[in-house]
Amino acid sequence: MLRARSDGIGDDADTPRAAARSRSTPVERWFAAQGWKIFAFQRDTWQAAVRGESGLLHASTGSGKTYAVWFAALQHAVPALAKSGPLPVVDVPVAAKRAKAINQTGLRILWITPMRALAADTARALEAPLSALLPTWTIGSRTGDTSGSERARQLRSLPSTLITTPESLSLLLSQDDAAARFGTLDAIIVDEWHELMGSKRGVQTQLALARLRRWRPDLMVWGLSATLGNLQQSRDALLGEGRGVLVQGKTRKKILVDTLIPEHPSRFAWAGHLGLQMLPAVVIEIDGHASTLVFTNTRSQAELWYQNLLAARPDWAGLIALHHGSLDREVREWVELAIKNGQLKAVVCTSSLDLGVDFAPVERVLQIGSARGVARLLQRAGRSGHSPGRVSRVTLVPTNTLELLEAAGARHAVAAGQVEQRPVPDTPLDVLVQHLVTIALGGGFRSQELFDEVRTAYSYRALRPDQWQWALDFVARGGQSLIAYPEYQRVVPDADGVYRVPDAAIARRHRMSIGTIVSDASMQVQYLRGARIGTIEEGFIARLRAGDRFLFGGRMLEFVRVHEMTAYVRRATSGTGAVPRWQGGRMPLSSTLAHAVLDCLEEATHDDYSGPEMQAVKPLLALQQQWSALPTARKLVVEQLHSREGHHLFFYPFAGRLVHVGLAALISYRLAQRRAATFSIAVNDYGFELLSATPIDVADIFPASDMGGAMFSSENLLEDVIASLNATELTQRRFREIARISGLVFQGFPGQPKSTRQLQASASLFFEVFRKHDAGNLLLTQAQTEVLEQELELQRLRETLAELRSRSLQVCGITRATPFGFPLMVERFREKLSTEKLSDRVARMLQELEKAAAR
Amino acid sequence: MTEDHSPAGGALDIVVFGEQLSLLPQRAVLWRARKMLIVADIHFGKAAAFRAGGIPVPHGTTRANLDALDAVIAAHAVRHIVFLGDFLHAKTARAPATLLALQRWRDSHPDLHLTLVRGNHDRHAGDPPLSLEVEVVDEPWRVGPLALCHHPQELPGAYALAGHVHPVVRLAVARDSLRLPCFIFGEKQATLPAFGAFTGGYEISGKQGEQWFVCTDDRVFAYPQPI
């Protein structure tokens, strides 16, 4: 099937270049023909691949990664490409030459990408060397965007190389001839693995790989990843524990992190301030460069900055654009293309542009507000400086004075090469339940065989037989094995013990809901005339009345009406309006970055203010020191204040928002155990505040004998945290995703038959029914575990408690809020700790409503 | 329309068209004068229908519904139960175990008068088996000044009680928020919350002249401002 070409790589042994050619491989000659040098890391990757080894290639920023793994896969699949001398000539039948679209080789290489938007660009890059080296090979992609006709063609025969997403791969695995279709596979590349590994999509990928490895035991797998704090684990999660090699890519250039220093840094940091006072400085930066990406942390912040930039520079209309995840796909694609073509001066964006193809024209990256983590900062820095000879540079734009501290910390951490770890999900049973049905569709399974296979996936390496049996019973019997439900039919074993899906309707419903991305209920936003703008959460739309204005997609819009899950709007001529708030967790400050900040504070206590950021924040820190003290990694500072509002206690552990929520609830709960009290709680990334109507005796928290040992004890931590927070409500919220992934909740589709609608119920209803009638349901346990680990960062809370126990304590009585305390004191969103009965709670809430109405 | 809070059992009494009705926290209306219990949207066999569709729902919801009925029957000496539609959830709700449980329950209350006002689900699921001895009628079914219905509607010369909507209200104060099942009483008609143990809710927004009553497990509260 292989065939040498006569255009410089081939067969003419008489020419002077032939001698050199016989010492080089076809791949080397192709690189030479492009005028490219082969990097050492590319050679390392290829050599490992020729030996048949799998691996993970990582670099924070860098080029040549794609071809490193692409040629690794090709040389593994076609060994002749790695041997010196000409490619052997293989006669290709004329008919096959003509019908090139019909793949002769079967599927050989699978390329998995987290973003379907990347598929087209990836295909172009992979295709480039093929015409010279392997002209009979075909490339195709299979994502949610693939057309029906293309799907039909792929149903007949898959291309030699298929570019796909984890969801589409699972969908292919659910076809009953999956084993045959993947039976010729030689290699798999997983692109942007760091993006997948921490999520359930990554787990879905692990399970798919386990499946494919069973069919093809010699399958080679290579991952591409950004630099992470836990690369070994990242490799293990992709390849199995202790397997495969780690190759470090060529880091293209140094990364420069700097900060736009405000002219007059205020001594008081106002949380939630959008930092628009930095607008003029940002305008100057954008003006001075050909193309800039302006990253913000939230979609509403992006909308505001875009609007304000336009107001400041009306002449930039058409030259600057907005990009975030709620905008319509067509709009986003247009913006991406325009950046690539160098047509845009600036794009205000969110994490929606963290990933994706290289934007060569981008010279500059600005980060508005804290990036919250070092890895994210590096990722964003890497979006700039792709032109030769340029550096990757990210400039931090603090939105309040305390963020200067974070900027200083970030610079420290980047210089020291400290990057966050990314945790891998542990035994998520919802994904397993989905996988069982997928495999039952894709040819069926025997229990023991699939159990062994699933255990080779890293996230399920500790899967216990009882958990397995539970998941199997859940899909095969509808619940615990002790109860018989004769009417239940989802996955049914045949006489040989092979589990399959007998019902076509169930099969169709399952295929439509494969995947692990669960989005909030949202509504299309569309002009009356028809053009789509994007999607907004239902909750926001529900609060709008006709005529209300809101900012979306960079325009002021006027709400007209809702019809069939679409919100119709028209352009508003002028005026101001609300900015939609999208839900979605605000990321907490990472532990790595928080510790870097504590180190900077430590230096400040020794009067060491190095760097422009520390110089700028010096007046604030000096005031904090004068009125109170500076917290460091060795000292916990607690401030006590009496105001008209009541009695305040401020703590500064610097452990990130989520840990502070848990910590504040824990301490107030433990205090309330000793003496009845009600606390109002405010948190931010640096600390938290407890506010009480009655005096809080600090000696109660920190008796001289143990200095907080009991308060910060890890004993009974789990029980206390669950008791102190409204854990049930948190868990119920978390259950939404689990219900959807495990197939309990089916999102309807247009034109669905009535019989499907009768099978729709909300996740919260399932949650209630399970809690009442099946308390042992492991999906409930999973929801609680996820709340504890992800929303409350229990492990980090435990570590923080240990750190706090080892820190010395300084309690400062203060007469007014300090620079660190001020943002907490003005925080409007407060949690309340109470242990009321439902009826009492409702009675109180109704009373409050009544009071408000009477006003 | 007047209201009065009777502390017994957390119920709340209101008067419509001269008839006193008790709103029970069990999400049902008790017409004491006639010892009649009115429940909406019980959806028997919904869990079984889900299971038949391949969605694993644990058993226990039919039992929970029957136990809840028993508790109210015992507490208020109920002689007559009127179901305001959606007695059975779907055709596939007629699972043997479900029907058996219903039959046993029926057999333990031989003197109880049962009436079903047909709802939209009943049209697909079919009438209850004859052995359950349920009188089946179409809406509106007039009893005194009341018209018992499944679909909310206004009727001349009668006050309509209906179901179908499964109304819930979001009670939100500061950062605290709860969804609670609710009775809606308007000038000429009322909507009851769903009685069933496995029924969801539809969040309603207020209309002029409506009064809301929200249920917790043990009490019914008047909601202060309907809009």
Closest CB from B52, B60, B90 relative to A488: B52
CB A285 within 8 Å of CB A370: no
**Domains in chain B, number:** 1
Q: What are the residues whose beta carbons fall under 8 Å from the beta carbon of A852, sequence distance 6 or more?
A: B173
**Stronger pLDDT, A377 or A749, i.e. the higher one:** A377
When pLDDT is cut at 50, 70 and 90, the band that residue B176 belongs to is: low
- Report the CATH fold assignment for A629-725+794-839: Gyrase A; domain 2 (3.30.1360)
Is the predicted pLDDT of residue A527 greater than 70, yes or no?
Answer: yes
- Report the CATH fold assignment for A255-415: Rossmann fold (3.40.50)
User: What is the residue-averaged pLDDT of chain A?
Assistant: 84
Q: Which two tokens stand for residue A104?
A: 């002769």
For residue A773, the chain B residues in CB contact (below 8 A) are 58-61, 64
Is the predicted pLDDT of residue A12 greater than 50, yes or no?
Answer: no
Task: Report the residue of B55, B100, B215 to disrupt the A interface, i.e. the one with the largest count of A CBs within 10 Å.
Answer: B55
Is residue B24 situated within a structural domain? yes
DSSP A327: B
CA distances, A270 to each of A97, A372, A756, A820 (Å): 69, 17, 51, 10
Beta-strand pair A109-112/A187-190: parallel
Contact A486 B173 (CB under 8 A): no
Is the predicted pLDDT of residue A365 greater than 50, yes or no?
Answer: yes
Stretch (H or E) spanning A47: helix A40-50
User: What is the residue-averaged pLDDT of chain B?
Assistant: 89
Q: Which residue of B has its CA nearest to A489?
A: B54
Q: Which two tokens stand for residue A601?
A: 């504070």
Q: Do domains A17-248 and A629-725+794-839 have the same CATH topology?
A: no
Instruction: Classify residue A323 as exposed, middle or buried by CB count within 10 Å of its CB (0-12, 13-18, 19+).
Output: buried
For residue B43, the chain A residues in CB contact (below 8 A) are none
Q: Which residue of B has its CA nearest to A849?
A: B173
Task: Report the residue of B57, B198, B212, B227 to disrupt the A interface, i.e. the one with the largest count of A CBs within 10 Å.
Answer: B57
Contact B200 A761 (CB under 8 A): yes
DSSP A117: G
Instruction: Classify residue A656 as exposed, middle or buried by CB count within 10 Å of its CB (0-12, 13-18, 19+).
Output: buried
Closest chain B C-alpha to A651 CA, distance in angstroms: 23
**pTM for the full model?**
0.83
For residue B216, the chain A residues in CB contact (below 8 A) are 838-839, 842
Task: Report the residue of A429, A438, A487 to disrupt the B interface, i.e. the one with the largest count of B CBs within 10 Å.
Answer: A487
Domain boundaries, chain A: 17-248, 255-415, 429-516+729-786, 522-571, 629-725+794-839
Closest chain B C-alpha to A464 CA, distance in angstroms: 22
Closest chain B C-alpha to A543 CA, distance in angstroms: 11
Task: Check residue A250 and give its pLDDT.
Answer: 76
Least-confidence region, from A524-538, A544-558, A716-730, B51-65: A716-730
Closest CB from B55, B176, B216 relative to A744: B55
Amino acid A274 reads L
Closest chain A C-alpha to B153 CA, distance in angstroms: 23
- Report the CATH fold assignment for A17-248: Rossmann fold (3.40.50)
User: Which residues span the domain enclosing B32?
Assistant: 2-222
- Residues A20-40, mean pLDDT to the nearest whole number: 87
Task: Check residue A185 and give its pLDDT.
Answer: 95
Closest CB from A487, A770, A852 relative to B52: A487
Is residue B227 situated within a structural domain? no
Is the predicted pLDDT of residue A727 greater than 70, yes or no?
Answer: no
Q: Which two tokens stand for residue A554?
A: 């960079």
When pLDDT is cut at 50, 70 and 90, the band that residue A816 belongs to is: confident
When pLDDT is cut at 50, 70 and 90, the band that residue A26 belongs to is: very high
Through-space distance between the first and last CA atoms of chain B, rounded to whole angstroms? 18
**How far is residue B159 CA from its own chain's centroid?**
16
The b/e string for B91-106 (b: 16+ C-beta within 10 A; e otherwise) is ebbbbeebbebbeebb
When pLDDT is cut at 50, 70 and 90, the band that residue A8 belongs to is: very low
Least-confidence region, from A112-126, A730-744, A817-831: A817-831
Q: Which two tokens stand for residue A603?
A: 């230096």
Is residue B86 situated within a structural domain? yes
Contact B96 A486 (CB under 8 A): yes
Q: Which two tokens stand for residue B175?
A: 């950062």
- Residues A742-760, mean pLDDT to the nearest whole number: 66
Closest CB from A485, A765, A830 relative to B175: A830
Task: Check residue A186 and give its pLDDT.
Answer: 95
When pLDDT is cut at 50, 70 and 90, the band that residue A155 belongs to is: confident
Q: Which two tokens stand for residue A83?
A: 């041997």
CB A783 within 8 Å of CB A738: yes
Least-confidence region, from A81-90, A226-235, B87-96: A81-90
Task: Check residue A86 and give its pLDDT.
Answer: 77
CB A78 within 8 Å of CB A130: no
Contact A754 B57 (CB under 8 A): no
Is residue B75 situated within a structural domain? yes
DSSP secondary structure string for all residues of A365-392: EEEES--SSHHHHHHHHTTS--STTPPE
Query: Domain with B186 in it: what CATH number?
Result: 3.60.21
Phi first, then psi: give them for residue A121, nearest 5 degrees.
-65, -40
Contact B57 A766 (CB under 8 A): yes
Task: Check residue A6 and give its pLDDT.
Answer: 37
Q: Which residue of B has its CA nearest to A501?
A: B54
Is residue B46 situated within a structural domain? yes
CB atoms within 10 A of CB A182: 24
Residue A486 preceded by cis peptide, ω within 30: no
Task: Report the residue of B27, B51, B180 to disrupt the A interface, i.e. the one with the largest count of A CBs within 10 Å.
Answer: B51
Q: Is A707 left (phi over 0), alpha (psi -120 to 50) or beta?
A: left
pLDDT in tens, A453-476: 999 999 999 999 999 999 999 998
For residue A490, the chain B residues in CB contact (below 8 A) are 54-56
Least-confidence region, from A389-398, A429-438, A738-747, B168-177: B168-177
